Amino acid sequence: MGISQARTIAFDVLRRVETQSAFADEALRAELGSNVRTEDAGLATELTLGVLRWQRLLDFLTDRNLTKAGKTLDVEVRIALRLGIYQLWFLERVPAHAAVHESVELVKRARKRSAAPLVNAVLRKAAAEVTRLAQSRAAIATLLPKNLLLEEKLGILDSHPTWLIERWLRILGEEPTGALLEANNRVPVVSCSVLDAHRRDDALTSLQKAGCVIEPGLLLRDAWTLHGGNPAASEAVQRGWVAIQDEASQAVAHLLAVEHGNSVLDLCAAPGGKTILLARAAGSQRRVIAADLHAHRVRAMAERFETAGVRNVEPIMLDGAEPLPFEHGFDRILVDAPCSGTGTFARHPEIRWRLRCEDLTDLHARQVRLLKNALANLAPHGRVIYSTCSLEPEENELVVNEALGGTQGAFRVVTPRSALERILREGVAVENLIRADGFFRTCPSAHGTDGFFAAAIERTAEEI
- Cβ atoms within 10 Å of 128's Cβ, excluding its own: 13
Tell me if 55 sits within 8 A of 30, measured CB to CB. Answer: no
**197/29 Cα distance (integer angstroms):** 26
Burial class (CB in 10 A: 0-12, 13-18, 19+), 9: buried
**448/456 Cα distance (integer angstroms):** 23
**280/249 Cα distance (integer angstroms):** 17
Q: Where are the beta strands (DSSP E) in 43-189?
A: none
Distances from the Cα of 422 to the Cαs of 104, 183, 419, in angstroms? 55, 28, 6
Return all residues near 334 (Cβ < 8 A) that are at least 6 apart: 252, 253, 256, 264, 265, 266, 267, 268, 269, 274, 278, 384, 385, 387
- Cβ atoms within 10 Å of 301's Cβ, excluding its own: 24
**129/132 Cα distance (integer angstroms):** 5
- Cβ atoms within 10 Å of 303's Cβ, excluding its own: 11
Amino acid type, 193: S
Q: What is the CA radius of gyration of the chain?
A: 24
Angle, alpha carbons 434-437-441 (nearest 5°)? 35
**156/326 Cα distance (integer angstroms):** 50
**341/151 Cα distance (integer angstroms):** 21
Angle, alpha carbons 19-89-228 (nearest 5°)? 75
Tell me if 16 sits within 8 A of 27, measured CB to CB. Answer: yes
Q: 208-241 as b/e, with b when 16 or more CB fall inside 10 Å?
A: eebebeeeebbbbebbbbbeebbbebbbbbebbb
Is residue 349 helix, strand or coil?
coil
Q: Which of 192, 212, 389, 443 is catalytic?
A: 389
Told to judge if 389 belongs to the known catalytic residues of this protein, a careful annotator would answer: yes
Strands 213-216 and 223-227, how do they pair? antiparallel
Taking alpha carbons only, the member of 163, 189, 197 closest to residue 276 is 197
Annotated catalytic sites, by residue?
Answer: 389
